[in-house]
Amino acid sequence: MSQDLQQIETEKDINHNWVTSSKFILYVSIFAILSLVLGNCTKLFTSGFKKTTPEVQTSSQYKPEYK
């Protein structure tokens, strides 16, 4: 009787059952990738791209102004 109980415990262990461990790793990796993509998309949507206008020298503009 104790041998049957011990065998059932080893079947449920992730180290001995590669099918369930590979499914678990697949689901965790998909969840991690989706959460990273969703987090980056929401951060980009909330902050957006800030348009900056850098200072350009007057001599290198489209219509340069020389002194």
Q: What is the pLDDT along the chain (67 residues), one digit of tens a residue?
A: 555 555 555 556 666 666 667 888 899 999 999 999 999 999 988 887 778 888 888 878 888 777 6
* pLDDT for the residue 58: 82
* pLDDT for the residue 5: 56
Residue 6 lies in a domain: yes
* pLDDT for the residue 6: 58
Specify the pTM. Answer: 0.50
- CA of 57: how far to CAs of 24, 51, 52, 66, 67, in Å? 58, 19, 16, 10, 12
* Cβ-based neighbours of 46, under 8 Å, separated by 6 or more: none
**CB–CB of 64/58 below 8 Å?**
yes
Residue 27 lies in a domain: yes
Residue 35 lies in a domain: yes
* pLDDT for the residue 15: 65
Our count of domains for the chain comes to 1
